[in-house]
Amino acid sequence: MNTQSTKNNTAKTGAINNVVIAGGGTAGWMAAAAFAKLVGKNINVTLVESDQIPTVGVGEATIPTLHIFHDLLKIKESEFMAATNASFKLGISFENWRDQNKDYIHSFGYLGQGCWAAGFQHFWLKGQQQNIASEIGDYCPEHLACRKQKFAVVSNQDRNHAFHLDAGLYAKFLRQFAEQHGATRIEGKIEQVNLEPQNGFIESLSLENGKTVAGDLFIDCTGFVGLLIEKALHTGYEDWSHWLPCDSAIAVQTEQVKPALPYTRSIAHPFGWQWKIPLQNRMGNGMVFCSKHVSDEEAKATLLGNIEGKLLNEPKIIKYRTGTRRKHWNKNCVAVGLSSGFLEPLESTSIHLIQQSIIRLLQHLPSKAMEQSLADDFNAKMRFEIDNIRDFIVMHYKVTERTDSAFWRYCKTMPIPQGLKSRIDLFEESAQAFKTDGELFGETSWIQVMIGQGLMPQSYHPIVDNMSDQELKNFLDTIKNSIAKRVDSLPHHLDFIRQYCLAKPM
């Protein structure tokens, strides 16, 4: 098939012909890679970015949904991991979140086995009361593998693993992929966004070097500034800082001085929390904090006093405001990544939201008419998803026993969204974990975090009492022993990395 003639034909039928992506980084190159690979035969994909503008580049931990994106693009896991110095991630260790010196792990995967009327947590709760159940993580393979530092990719295995990766190298990897599939990169700083006088749609981008880039559909990946979605289209922003009061972050990379762990560490401090993200060749570190309760210099000093290894770069301070654009799709512009809003990286959801925006946009691909019904449905679905993730993150702050600082006292007593309050009340009173279709975080995630944060249900489902105490013990022991045997058979995760996806020396 003649590609050029196909592209000319699409223009005649009213289909969009030119997609312009403003900005690079993880968001921009994920968008370029997906559009070039999946619809590039019929659509010209152009990405505009400037070498003068640095990317934030700290979204270095992911969740298992990234497999969906890579499967669509037919990206081989081992090649991607070797190219991005990636390591495996099986969950997040939350340290000092419930209270000082009280830690737990939120792992991927599923807990135990329930029945038609009650999830596994009900059986476990009675087992705890009878002193015949151990910690809840013993009944989840990924949780136990986290603690034992075991992992392997084996056939017929659920892919309940994610990655720690170098965001800069990931953008570079995707750029090469996108350009191989026909995407065009234009170097240049955007000077002006030109709007059509009659309808206010974006017509083109004028660059400082004198070039003009016209398009039918524009994807805004310009980060916090929201150059297209906000500066040009004035879409509006909904502020969530009353629920998520942290407004600053400091990021720094260090040499790897200890063997990488197969999980992210999130360590709570009196004014926020610290992350540790282990890659094959280095450690990603950062501090998320509330500027009302600590100065930038104090936060920086705390971070530098709690990391190991030689600094590989200067600490970078990032200011932000948690919240979301009122519309992620406005007129002929779709905001992807930081331009669409910001939720702090507590549960590593930033890359997931980027990929969801891209995949959903491809599923809702409009004609040149820019059908409003498509935009409305896209916005409703993105809003549902981001609200759900927001509530899950807010829960970590709200359900706490910490009262040792003004920051934690505020979080413990702050009003929260009604939907989240209902979930917490439901679990506390009955051990029921509420979930609706389409939500990102499953029941296992809500259960692990609520129990980990100290919320122990007051009762369990009466169907559990159909089992005798001995039957319940046998049931719990069988699950636990089966999981232990399975995890013990796995290699150490670093040994597996060495033979599966070892990164080349830098």
Residue 65 is encoded by which pair of tokens? 């949904």
110: left (phi over 0), alpha (psi -120 to 50) or beta: beta
User: What does residue 311 show for φ and ψ, rounded to 5 degrees?
Assistant: -70, 135
Residue 193 is encoded by which pair of tokens? 């966004």
Distance, in Å, from the CA atom of 472 to the CA atom of 422, rounded to the nearest integer, reads 30
Distance, in Å, from the CA atom of 69 to the CA atom of 469, rounded to the nearest integer, reads 46
Catalytic hit among 37, 74, 76, 89: 89
Query: Can you say whether the dihedral through the CA atoms of 297, 303, 306, 308 is positive or negative?
Result: negative
Residue 378 one-letter amino acid: F
End-to-end alpha carbon distance in the chain: 41
Q: Are strands 91-99 and 264-269 parallel, antiparallel or unpaired?
A: parallel
Angle ∠(363,367,369) on CA atoms, nearest 5: 130
Q: Please classify residue 305 by burial: count the beta carbons closer than 10 Å to its beta carbon, then call 0-12 exposed, 13-18 middle and 19+ buried.
A: exposed
Distance, in Å, from the CA atom of 145 to the CA atom of 298, rounded to the nearest integer, reads 36
Q: What is the DSSP string of 240-266?
A: -TTTS---EEEEEEEE--SPPPSSEEE
398 counts as catalytic: no
Active site amino acids: 89
